[in-house]
Structures are given as C-alpha cells and as structure tokens.
A and B are shown apart, each in its own frame.
Chain A
Amino acid sequence: MTVQSRETSLFGDREVALVDLLDRLLAGGVVLTGDLTISLAGVDLVRVSLRALITSITPAEPTVPLAVPAERVESERVESERVESERVESGRVRDG
C-alpha cells in the first residue's frame, strides 16, 4: 500500500509542510474583520513561490520548503507542453 502519513500534531512539528499549512491558514480559520484591514485570502501561492525563487538572493528563512526543486522540473516528461510554460518562468531551457 502506498499511504504516506505525516503526523502534524506531535511536539515540535516543524515537519509540517508549509504549503499544507498555508492552504489551511489562507483558506481556513475564523474570518473576522480586523482593525487593520488585511486580506490574505486569495493569495496565489504559486506566484508567491515563484517570486520568492526569483528574488531570493538572501532568503530570510533559508529552509522554506516551497522552492522549485530543479531536478524535479527536469524529470517531467508526460505533460511537457503544459510544463513548458511553467518552465519559461524559471528560465530553463529543455533539450527537447
């Protein structure tokens, strides 16, 4: 069987994937109107991570696990057409 299970609730759970956490924190929780009007709802994580990738010369938090792993991008084949457009943004050129 191929279930991967990750406990989130154990003590010291730094292992929670940031993307799973942001799914919940940006689209969940009790939504109240705070005094400083702030809306993080609808933040596009893909755009955020791309921007982080492009602008991170000196990342404030070096272990943010959202960056695109380059090898992964290279190993995609099945859907190369659609992937192509994503790849352009990370400045990579495929061999074909």
Chain B
Amino acid sequence: MITYLYAVGRDLSEIPDVGSGGVGGGALRLVGEAGLQAIVSDVEREAFEDLDEHREDLAWLATVARAHHGVVEAAGREHAIAPLALATVYLDDDRVRAVLREGHEAFTAVLDRITDRDEWGVKAFMRPSSASGSGSGPERPTSGAAYLRARRTALREGDAAVTEAERVADEIDAALADLAVAARRHAPQDRSLTGRSERMVLNGAYLVDRSAADDLRALVGRLAEDRRLDLELTGPWVPYSFAGGAT
C-alpha cells in the first residue's frame, strides 16, 4: 500500500466524513506535521505504478477524480484546504510528513490565498446562430459554383461571429476578474465534451471572497442580460484552480 494525498489544511482535527471513503474505498486518515495536516488514504501501489496506462483511460480518470473530489469537498465545506493535483502519491506516511515540512511555506501561502474564498466557474457559449440559418436563406444555390460561393460566405461570417464572440468573452472575463481576487482561464471545452453544439468561448475560473458571492451572482446575471453569449455559472468550488504555486 502507498499513501494518496488529497489535500492539506492547517486547522483540521477530524477526518472528513465521506461515506464511500477515498480512492479505491480506502479509509481516510490525517497525517500531521509542522502545524499542517494532510488528508490521506492507502491505495494499492499497482494502481498508480504505471500511470501511463491510465492517463488516457476515461473510466479510471473519472473514478479517481470523483473520489478525490468527494474527499476535497467534504473537507473543504468547513475548512480552508489546499487540494493536491490528481493522483499525488507517496510511498508512506513518513514521506508525507517530509513533504509537509519541506513545503510548509508554500502550503501556508496557498492557504492564506484561499481562506474564506471560493472558486466559481463561468463558461460562455456562442448563441445558436440566427443570421446564417441554413433553411430559409436568400435563394437556393442554382449551381455548384453558387453553392460554393454561398458556403464560403457562410464560413467567413462564421469566423467573424467567432471573433466577435471571443471579444465579448474577453470583456466578460475582465468584468469578472475585476470582482475576483484572482482569475484564470481554462481552455474552452471541446463540443464533444460539453455535449452542446454551440462553441464555448470562455471557460473561466474566479477566486472570489465568500462575502462577495452574491455580488458575483448578480454580476453574472447582468452580463447575461445582453444575451450576446449564453453563460453558465458553476460553484462554489474548492479553489482547485488557485492552489497551484504559480497562479
């Protein structure tokens, strides 16, 4: 067995209550050192030894991600915690203690940054195009050449619409970033992942003071009112996107 590390906090005294346990169903434990506590559980070494086999295995990723998130969420409800990147494992608890000692300053900095703050996600999608609808166009092309001309025009208009949508997305991102303590943009999700046919033009993450959560909701509502893009708000999240050292 090896030790899977989920998150680090500095005021944890109880093991988070997760019915299903950690990754692989392992019982959760706290490992304390230097004023920090790590939430860990034992996992099978074999499952993590050759991750190259797993990194493109969606079922494996999904299972580990859900279990990881379940623990982080349960602990993060009551405490400021710094979540670890997915699948951070150590040979034993002593190694975890060493990491807490050596990383004390870095963990403290992350915890300072995220205490009393939540992450919110705002995604923006292009609206279904009404201008370049295919059914009731001006006139039906009468020849192959006319068809190709019409296609080219439609594509050019499509490109212009994307450029405009991306500009609006930048505005929305800037407005949200103003309200947030920190902001970060993830890569827009591909349509095959969102299940939506409209293109995603913003996949933003915003670290927001807990006291400003209502302001954020109101701002997102206002930004959505002009109906240029469809917005989707998710959260509050434990600040995964803002726990990295270099954010």
Taking Cβ atoms with an 8 Å cutoff, the residues of A that contact B are 1-9, 13-14, 16-32, 34-36, 38-41, 43, 45-52, 56, 59-61, 64-66, 68-69, 72, 75-79, 81, 86
Whether B88 and A32, one on each chain, are in contact in the complex, defined by CB atoms closer than 8 angstroms, is: yes
Return chain B residues, CB-CB under 8 Å to A30: 8, 82-85, 103, 106-107, 110, 243-245
Report Cα–Cα, A93/B24, bound state, in Å. Answer: 41
**Number of chain B residues close to chain A: CB under 8 A:** 81
A28 → chain B closest CB, angstroms: 4
Which residues of B are found within 8 Å of A7, using beta-carbon distances? 235-236
The 7 closest A-B pairs by CB, nearest first: A28-B240, A52-B58, A24-B240, A29-B85, A60-B59, A25-B86, A38-B51
Closest chain B residue to A62 by CB distance? Answer: B59
Q: Contacts of B62 on A, CB cut-off 8 Å?
A: 18, 61, 64, 66
Q: How far is the CB of B60 from chain A (nearest CB, A)?
A: 8
Task: A19 to B56: give the CA distance in the assembly, Å.
Answer: 14
A86: B residues at CB distance < 8 A: 191-192
- Using a CB–CB cutoff of 8 Å, the interface residues on chain B facing chain A are 2, 5, 8, 45, 48-49, 51, 55-63, 65-66, 68-69, 73, 77, 82-91, 95, 99, 103, 106-107, 110, 118-119, 121, 129, 132, 134, 154-155, 158, 186-187, 189-197, 199, 203, 205, 217, 220-221, 224-225, 227, 230-237, 240-245
Complex: A61 Cα to B61 Cα, angstroms: 11
Q: Which of B49, B73, B132, B193 has the most CB of A within 10 A?
A: B193
Which one of B205, B231, B236, B237 lies within 8 Å of A2 (CB-CB)? B231
Please give, as numbers and ranges, the residues of chain A lying within 8 Å of B189 by CB-CB distance. 19, 23, 45
Chain B contacts for A39, CB-based, 8 A:
51
B193 & A49 in contact (Cβ 8 Å cutoff)? yes
Most chain A CB within 10 A, of B155, B190, B203, B220, is at B190
Contact of A34 among B89, B231, B232 (CB under 8 A): B89
Q: Is the Cβ of B240 less than 8 Å from the Cβ of A29? A: yes
Residues of A within 8 A of B119 (CB): 24
